[in-house]
């Protein structure tokens, strides 16, 4: 309950997560039918990067702060356009002070028929999130442990949806919990697109986590990872990963364009790297670049 995303808002991990979330939303919108985004660990929705908390870590300056006004290759700029345009819209006067969390970003990209269900358990964060979307008929805010929503809120009535699971990873066993949560959710909503975030840091059980996902009865699981620095002498976050279940057929190729650019622009030392590969389906051979 003491995790607060304001310290990390807009960092390199948010850039990867939100860039991919925006791509998933745009893909869903290729069809006229409505869809729902379920955000299981929503936070406060909108972050002030000039706040004392954000300034204390300055993590955003190594993430969105490096990317927003950078000249990008045409293909990369096109792929990042939905995400970066939303950030620019919030900072119309220039610079960057406000940063959208996942629920705010999703809502900014919605059409009139699309819907958001956002879960937040922290009392103060829930209250702020509720105020942010008060009166918005396309958004439902619920004070609930996000893990429970993987059962109680699936499948969505729209029968189409993106499920974003972005836990704080403050407790032991969160990688196992993430795999178990996916298994539970998939049984209820096998047609959904799932996007699961996880941290990369020294000693993290990534191999075991990937093996647990491979053991699930899920046909297509895509993995994307971005590492921005070496883990030598560092106990904190060195990279982040995304698990995408039922990904759009275009996403793998998009990641092979996006990840090298993100690595180049967000690298914090010469050990930065990236990869996108199938854990299940298509081909399991990893492609490290």
**Cα(219)–Cα(150) distance, rounded to whole angstroms?**
19
Backbone angles phi, psi at 145, to 5 degrees: -60, 120
Catalytic residue among 32, 166, 180, 217: 166
Q: Is the pLDDT of residue 289 over 80?
A: no
Compute the C-alpha angle 78/84/85, nearest 5°.
Answer: 90
> What integer is the mean pLDDT of 213-225?
97
The DSSP code sequence of 153-193 is T-S-TTS-EEEEE-----STTHHHHHHHHHHHHHHH-TTSE
Please indicate if the annotation marks 210 as binding a ligand: no
Please indicate if the annotation marks 166 as binding a ligand: yes
Please indicate if the annotation marks 122 as binding a ligand: no
Is 166 a residue of the active site?
Answer: yes
pLDDT classification of 216: cutoffs 50, 70, 90: very high
Beta strand pairing call for 221-227 and 237-245: antiparallel
Q: What digits encode the pLDDT tens for the residues 67-124?
A: 998 999 999 999 999 999 999 999 999 889 999 999 999 999 999 999 999 999 999 9
Sign of the CA dihedral with 91 first, then 96, 98, and 102 last: positive
Under CATH, which number does the domain 5-280 receive? Answer: 3.40.50.150
């Amino acid at each position: 309950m003491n995790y607060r995303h304001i310290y990390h808002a807009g960092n390199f991990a948010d850039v990867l997560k939100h860039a991919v979330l925006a791509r998933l939303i745009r893909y869903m919108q290729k069809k006229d039918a409505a869809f729902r985004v379920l955000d299981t660990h929503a936070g406060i929705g909108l972050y002030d990067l000039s706040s004392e908390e954000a300034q204390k870590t300055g993590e955003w300056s190594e993430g969105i702060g490096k990317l927003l006004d950078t000249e990008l290759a045409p293909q990369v700029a096109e792929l990042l356009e939905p995400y970066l345009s939303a950030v620019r819209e919030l900072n119309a006067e220039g610079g960057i002070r406000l940063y959208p969390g996942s629920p705010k970003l999703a809502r900014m990209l919605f059409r009139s028929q699309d819907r958001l269900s956002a879960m937040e358990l922290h009392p103060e964060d829930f209250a702020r999130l509720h105020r942010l979307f008060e009166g918005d008929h396309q958004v439902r805010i619920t004070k609930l442990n996000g893990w429970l929503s993987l059962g109680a809120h699936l499948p969505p009535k729209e029968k189409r949806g993106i499920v974003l699971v972005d836990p704080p990873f403050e407790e032991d066993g969160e990688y196992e919990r993430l795999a178990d949560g996916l298994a539970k959710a998939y049984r209820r909503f096998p047609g959904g697109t799932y996007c699961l975030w996880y941290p990369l840091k020294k000693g993290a059980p990534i191999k075991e986590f990937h093996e647990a996902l491979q053991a699930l009865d899920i046909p297509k699981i895509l993995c994307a990872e971005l590492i921005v620095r070496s883990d030598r002498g560092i106990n904190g976050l060195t990279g982040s990963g995304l698990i995408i279940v039922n990904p759009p057929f275009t996403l793998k190729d998009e990641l092979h364009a996006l990840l090298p650019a993100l690595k180049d622009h967000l690298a914090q030392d010469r050990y930065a790297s990236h990869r996108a590969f199938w854990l299940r389906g298509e081909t399991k051979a990893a492609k490290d670049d």
